[in-house]
Structure 1
């Protein structure tokens, strides 16, 4: 038992790594995850529009993208993007691994976000689109102004859940060998663990991830509950109105 606590709960080790984790590590984790989330949301909306297209030539490439990036393990995608692209001479970010890290997590996030947005848009009543078109709006304008905003509201809990996954998957970019000043939470902890053969640094990293994800998880659950209650309220009002008229 003493060895167990020494390996996982060595407080000098935890206190020694915490300053770096809470400054450099936390900052870069939030930077990578935040930029990946922005990329994923924007690309996901575009992909969702393609998935809903009636044209097969537009729909199939989007479906292929979503199926591939949802089917590949995240660690494979990170390796292919962050290691494979530079090795093949494709270097949109030069030799800076941080850009490839954001791109890899963003590509994965976009695939999952696309399916989330697609389901949300399809949940919007078809009459909304027809009504907007009858007012003279083009298809794209009606989707942008009327349908997509309602679809996004439908999937806010699921979308927030995807953001939590993006934060956790940012730990995989340690494979790309981030430089000093670019290291995220797990990279710092893994370096310390490799140097000391003590896993307390990884426990410290785990606690930091929990501090990020657990409050977000409860916030997502609360948001989901509020939205469900909000959907039931109009139904109850309609029923009451029917009784009153009857």
Structure 2
């Protein structure tokens, strides 16, 4: 039991690595996750609109993209983007691995966001489109002003949950060999564990991840519950009014 506690819960090892985890690792983890999530949202929305198109010329490449990036393991995609592109002399971010890390996580996130947006938009009642067209709006105007905003609102919890996954998947970018100042939580803990042969640094990194993901998870659950209760109350109101007549 003493060996177990020493290996995973050595307070000295944790205190040694915590300052670097909080000042460098946490900052870079959030930087990678937030930028990747924002880029993934933009690409995902474009892909969702292509998936909803009636033209196979737009729908087919979007479906191919989504199927590929959802089907590949995240670690393989990050390796192909972060290691493969520079090796092929394709260097949009120069020699800095942080840009490739953001791009790799964003490409993965975009595939999932596309399906989330698609399902949200398709969940909007067809009458909303008909109402917009009856007011003289074009198809694109109706989608932009009426259908898409409602669809996005329906999937806000799912998008927040996707951001939680982006935070966790950012740990895989350690493969790209981030330099000092660019290291995220897992890379810092992994380096310390390799030096000390003690896993307490990894447990400390896990605590930092939990500090971000657990509150967000509860937020998603509360948000989803509130949206479901709101929809239920809207369905009950017409029946209540009829009974009052």
| Alignment TM class, shorter chain as reference | over 0.9
- Deviation of 1:200 after TM superposition, in Å, equals 0.4
1:161 to 2:157 alignment: no
CA–CA distance in 1 between the matches of 2:206 and 2:243? Answer: 55
Residue 237 of structure 2: aligned partner: 237
1:191-202 residue pairs with structure 2 within 5 A?
A: 191-202=191-202
Q: How many residues align?
A: 245
Residue 25 of structure 1: aligned partner: 25
Instruction: Give per-residue Cα distances to partners, 1:141-176, cap 9 Å, x unaligned.
Output: 211111110000111111111110000000000000
CA–CA distance in 2 between the matches of 1:96 and 1:141? Answer: 41
- Deviation of 1:134 after TM superposition, in Å, equals 2.1
In the superposition, the TM-score normalised over structure 1's length comes to 0.98
Gaps of 5+ in 2: none
CA–CA distance in 2 between the matches of 1:10 and 1:23? Answer: 21
CA–CA distance in 2 between the matches of 1:190 and 1:42? Answer: 32
- Deviation of 1:244 after TM superposition, in Å, equals 2.0
CA–CA distance in 2 between the matches of 1:142 and 1:237? Answer: 27
What's the secondary structure of 2:15's corresponding residue? Answer: helix
- Deviation of 1:211 after TM superposition, in Å, equals 0.6
Residue 107 of structure 1: aligned partner: 107
CA–CA distance in 2 between the matches of 1:164 and 1:13? Answer: 27
Residue 141 of structure 1: aligned partner: 141
CA–CA distance in 2 between the matches of 1:121 and 1:21? Answer: 40
Residue 182 of structure 1: aligned partner: 182
CA–CA distance in 1 between the matches of 2:141 and 2:168? Answer: 36
Instruction: Give per-residue Cα distances to partners, 1:37-72, cap 9 Å, x unaligned.
Output: 000111111100000000011100000000000000
- Deviation of 1:136 after TM superposition, in Å, equals 2.1
- Deviation of 1:225 after TM superposition, in Å, equals 0.6
Alignment root-mean-square deviation, CA:
0.7
CA–CA distance in 1 between the matches of 2:193 and 2:182? Answer: 18
CA–CA distance in 2 between the matches of 1:117 and 1:212? Answer: 24
Gaps of 5+ in 1: none
CA–CA distance in 2 between the matches of 1:3 and 1:141? Answer: 65
Instruction: Give per-residue Cα distances to partners, 1:120-147, cap 9 Å, x unaligned.
Output: 0000011111211222222222111111
Residue 127 of structure 2: aligned partner: 127
CA–CA distance in 2 between the matches of 1:141 and 1:188? Answer: 48
What's the secondary structure of 2:115's corresponding residue? Answer: helix
- Deviation of 1:234 after TM superposition, in Å, equals 1.1
Residue 151 of structure 2: aligned partner: 151
Residue 95 of structure 1: aligned partner: 95
Residue 6 of structure 2: aligned partner: 6
CA–CA distance in 1 between the matches of 2:203 and 2:11? Answer: 10
1:59 to 2:59 alignment: yes
Residue 83 of structure 2: aligned partner: 83
